[in-house]
Amino acid sequence: MKRNSLYPLMALLWLATACQSVQPLSIDYMLPAEVSFPASLKRVGVVNNMPASPETLHMPTDAEPPKDELEIRRKTEYYTGDAKITTESLAESLAAENYFDQVIICDSALRARDLTPRESTLSREEVNLLSHDLGVDFLIALENVQLRSLRRVSYLPDIHAYYETTDVKVFPTFRIYLPNRHGAVSTILSTDSIFWEEVGSSDGEVQARSIQKDELIEAASQFAGTTPVRYLLPHWRTAQRYLFTGGSVDMRDAAVYVREGNWPDAIALWKRHYEQKKGKQKMQAACNIALGYEMQDSIAAAAHWAEKAVEITRQRAEKTESENDLSYYMFAYSYWQELQERLQGIARLDAQMRRFEEEP
């Protein structure tokens, strides 16, 4: 899965160029699903509604990466994924999260015995019958899974070796159905990619060791079943954060409080530093304060202080037009964006997690 990498890249720039000490930290936090299910939907049926010879519903439109000077060969191939494996993978992934009370799987191809082509989506009558037979509140149906494989072989003269990469993009299509409703209530196209690499002393050695077609389809099909989980369920994200620890006695003392897990006292020292300093040091204090509040799950306060850091660095970058000040601005702005994402998702996440509240 690709994400905006601007924030960590800029942070690495400061690690290399900043005079002040910078300490990397990791933070785990939960994001809401894109689809929200009422708490009354406790049992889900996962079904395989993919035809034996599917039409391509979602084909890649992005261009292949450009060929570099070391590349000697490439090959692009398209496959239909294994629907049974993808259906089982989705059911297992949903069950592992313990979000629904029950996950029931029907991995038999519902259209395997069709004599004439028909619409790919499930009819209202089919949804009602399946929901009743499986004893579930709603259905998630796999309706297509396409794979695109790009193999690239390069020769690395510095180490006299051949290097092969196999990048497989998966294009599964899932739909959500509720009983007594006409048509799907939501469609999920969860495009993602899986990657392999091999190194050998000869082109033939690399080819002999590279992943083969059957294994590739099996692994990619299994992976495709895991991709919609982030759309369907609240999920954890691990993010990199950076703490400024130098520049004054207050900043160094605050870093001691951080090591002790004492964020309130650290914030108090950063606020004093913020009031006393200007420019980069003021911005660093604001970023630290934002991080302090984020670590205490006070996301609104964290976003407020990150916005202060953005404004400080924006004014400074406009005044000096230096690359260093522009980098500080990009750093602060990227952090503020992540906090905005968290802030905007809080209400939706609270609603999605309400199903775990004890009933009176």
User: Mean pLDDT of successive 10-residue segments in the chain (360 residues)?
Assistant: 44 50 90 91 94 57 73 92 96 95 84 57 92 96 95 92 95 96 93 94 90 96 96 92 90 94 97 92 94 96 96 90 84 94 92 76
pLDDT for the residue numbered 48: 93
Query: Angle at CA 289, nearest 5°, toward 264 and 9?
Result: 135
Q: What share of the chain is helix, strand, coil (3-state, %, to 5)?
A: 45, 25, 30
3-state secondary structure of 161: strand
Residue showing tokens 């993602």? 192
Residue 349: φ, ψ to 5°: -65, -45
Residue showing tokens 């990657």? 195
Beta carbons of 276 and 302 less than 8 angstroms apart:
no
The one-letter amino acid at 49: N
* Dist. CA 251–CA 253, nearest whole Å: 6
- C-alpha 63: how far from its chain's center? 22
Q: What is the CA radius of gyration of the chain?
A: 26
pLDDT for the residue numbered 120: 75
Residue 37: Cβ within 10 Å count: 20
User: What domains are defined for the chain?
Assistant: 6-27+241-356 (1.25.40.10), 43-233 (no CATH)
Torsion of CA 346, 352, 356, 357, to 10 degrees: 60
pLDDT for the residue numbered 323: 80
User: pTM (2 decimals)?
Assistant: 0.77
Taking alpha carbons only, the member of 145, 153, 135, 140 closest to residue 171 is 145
**Kind plus residue range of the DSSP H or E element containing 232:** helix 229-232
